[in-house]
């Protein structure tokens, strides 16, 4: 008999179809003990491999798929989602734009308020003050003329006076400042 007895690991490797060691050691051909152990292991593996695994029923199969597909979130890929980056960017942009416009509105509105309150008086006849002047001539051509006195909040004593109106059926807005008091 050649060599030592083979270990179980070596015998298992010999039984392994995919193993690179296909050559049977010389010892195995002569040793009935190793042959017996190899046959035992082969039988054990056959027993293990032949143990049946139950099938998953068709209802369970379908259920598993449906639940797994839903839970994976893949099925919702094409649906609207707040997680989409483009949605988040669009939402951020819209919010920013709305805030910006609001801010701009207050900024633009603020100076007018700071300039004081305007007193607008609708005129029905040419004021005596401007009769015969250039302002009077302009006034004669205005549609819906108004006399505006705008007081400045920082200096209540000074006020800007003007005659305002439109010409050419509202196409042109005219503001004619009058000299101060």
Partner 1 sequence: MSESTLHVHQSALGRVVIDKKTMHWPINDSDDALIMAAEKGSESAAAQLYARYADKVYRIAYRITLDENLAKDCAQETWIKAFAKIHRYRLGSSFPAWLAAIAVHSAIDLLRQRRKRQSVECENGEEDCGQIVEPAARLRLEENEIHAAVALALESLPANQRAAFVMRHYEDLPLKTIAENLGCLEGTVKTHIHRAVKAVRSALRKKLDGRMEKP
In the complex, least distance from residue 34 CB atom to partner 1, rounded to whole angstroms: 14
Among 2, 29, 76, 95, binds partner 1 (CB under 8 A): 76
Binding residue count for partner 1, defined by CB under 8 A: 39
Phi, psi of 18 (to 5 degrees): -85, -5
Tokens representing 79?
A: 């649906």
152 within 8 A of 160, measured Cβ to Cβ: yes
Rounded-to-integer distance, Cα 124 and Cα 7, Å: 122
29 lies in the site for partner 1, by CB under 8 A: no
74 lies in the site for partner 1, by CB under 8 A: yes
Among 48, 107, 128, 171, binds partner 1 (CB under 8 A): 48
99 lies in the site for partner 1, by CB under 8 A: no
- Report the residue number, 67 or 141, with the smaller CB distance to partner 1: 67
Nearest-Å Rg of the Cα atoms of the chain is: 50
- Report the residue number, 20 or 168, with the smaller CB distance to partner 1: 20
Among 64, 87, 90, 114, binds partner 1 (CB under 8 A): 64
36 lies in the site for partner 1, by CB under 8 A: yes
Task: For residue 178, give the DSSP letter.
Answer: E
Among 4, 21, 61, 88, binds partner 1 (CB under 8 A): 61
Q: Are strands 143-151 and 118-122 parallel, antiparallel or unpaired?
A: antiparallel
- Report the residue number, 26 or 46, with the smaller CB distance to partner 1: 46
What does the angle CA 7 – CA 10 – CA 15 come to, to the nearest 5 degrees?
125
Burial of 11 (0-12, 13-18, 19+ CB in 10 A): buried
For partner 1, the binding residues (CB under 8 A) are 8-9, 12, 18, 36, 40-41, 43-45, 47-56, 58-62, 64-69, 71-78
């Amino acid at each position: 008999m050649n060599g030592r007895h083979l270990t179980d690991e070596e015998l298992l490797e010999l039984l392994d179809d995919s193993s690179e060691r296909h050559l049977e050691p010389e010892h195995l051909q002569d040793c009935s003990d190793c042959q017996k152990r190899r046959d035992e292991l082969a039988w054990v593996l056959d027993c293990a491999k032949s143990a049946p695994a139950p099938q998953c029923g068709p209802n369970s199969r379908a259920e598993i798929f449906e639940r797994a597909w839903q839970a994976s979130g893949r099925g919702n890929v094409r649906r609207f989602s707040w997680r989409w980056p483009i949605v988040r960017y669009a939402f951020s942009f819209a919010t920013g734009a709305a805030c910006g416009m609001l801010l701009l509105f207050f900024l633009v509105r603020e100076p007018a308020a700071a300039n004081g309150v305007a007193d607008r008086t609708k005129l029905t006849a040419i004021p005596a003050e401007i009769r015969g002047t250039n302002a009077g001539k302009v006034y004669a051509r205005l549609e819906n003329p108004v006399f505006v006195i705008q007081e400045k909040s920082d200096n209540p004593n000074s006020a800007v006076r003007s005659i305002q109106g439109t010409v050419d059926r509202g196409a042109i807005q005219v503001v004619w400042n009058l000299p101060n008091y």
